Amino acid sequence: MKRREPRSKTFCKKETTMESTQQHDENGVEEQDIAKPQTDGLSKRAQKKQLKQQRYEAKKAEKKARAKEEKKREAERKRKEWEEKLSSVTEEERSKLIESRRGLRKERMEKRSEERGNKIRRLTDARETGQNVVVDLEFSHLMTASEIHSLVQQIMYCYAVNGRCASPAHLWLTGCEGEMGSQLQRLPGYDKWVIEKENRSYMEALQDQKENLVYLTADSENVLDDLDLKKIYIVGGLVDRNRWKGITMKKAQEQGIQTAKLPIGNYLKMSSSQVLTVNQVFEILLKFLETRDWKASFFQVIPQRKRCEADSDEHQGGEEDKDEDRDREEECDDEKDYESERKKKCIEAANDS
């Protein structure tokens, strides 16, 4: 009886490689539709979050396209209704309808012009009497293009909210260089914004005010009790998906400037971390300037999904991975909330003069 010879290792390796390739071809068809993110040097957790972010961006773009198409259809519907209405009346009635419509349009334009003028006056006065708030934009080199885009949207929302306030703050943007500066310049009407825009750091731009600089960071041990008009409060402009924890506190310590944190823990419990978006922090400061009430300011600005009931301790625990995933999902939700406001704010900023 002939002894059966084992197959060579080389042949087995080739066969395994062929099977692996076939498996990849069968299972990877749908994945070709989604561009694979750059994963060099990233942990599995970071790769998972990056892929999740990419899918979110694709979904957001699809939603935006649908909204644009719906708006176009609605405009067409209104145009047809107007034409049908004009065609169904006499010539005299038609003239009256057209004249009435022109009068309403003129009235709206005059009202907008008046509101715009009042807004510019308030923002101009804030340069002399308003609370100074700086958004530190020196972290752009640590962020991806999509994260910089997200931060630019938050800054645009800050400006729009500030412009609507009866007593706005004096807003500063410092470190407006590189990709961050380029994206800001592409915002409609950005060159007409009534704020301070500095390519320099706040340490250079406000070097004679160093003793009044206060960096707002959740890592500080100093709780902010009140706002002082003499102080200049700094908000870190960083969308980092939890990659750079404690970086703002470290920066402030190295520069030898004061730090403080909002008294969130004194008034409510957060469902996860106390890290808020730039526009949320800025709006909380504006609300407090208006009401002098921290609790009211937090509850008006911080979304319900980021808060939990005082007796609901079950949300306080959990594994680190779940906490970070929840933070990521909440941040995406915040971006969805403000995306619907984006076009309106762009038009508002563009109309500044």
Angle at 128 between CA 123 and CA 132, to 5 degrees: 75
Tokens for 225, please give them.
């009790």
Q: E strand or H helix at 120, and its extent?
A: helix 91-129
Tokens for 296, please give them.
């009211």
Distances (CA, A) of 344 to 71, 146, 348: 14, 21, 6
CB 228 within 8 A of CB 273: no
Q: Is 240 a catalytic residue?
A: yes
In this structure, the dihedral spanned by the alpha carbons of residues 187, 193, 196 and 197, taken in order and rounded to 10 degrees, is 20
* Nearest CA among 232, 181, 186 for reference residue 209: 232
| Residue where the block lists tokens 């920066």 | 251
- C-alpha 172/C-alpha 135 separation (Å) is 6
- C-alpha 350/C-alpha 187 separation (Å) is 8
Phi/psi of residue 146, nearest 5 degrees: -70, -35
- C-alpha 86/C-alpha 257 separation (Å) is 67
Q: Which of 125, 219, 226, 240 is catalytic?
A: 240
| Cβ-based neighbour number of residue 193 at 10 Å | 20
- C-alpha 259/C-alpha 236 separation (Å) is 12
Phi/psi of residue 234, nearest 5 degrees: -110, 130
Parallel, antiparallel, or unpaired for β 170-174 and 196-198?
A: parallel
Q: E strand or H helix at 216, and its extent?
A: strand 213-216
The beta strands (E) that lie in 26-142 are given as 132-136
As annotated, the active-site residues are 240
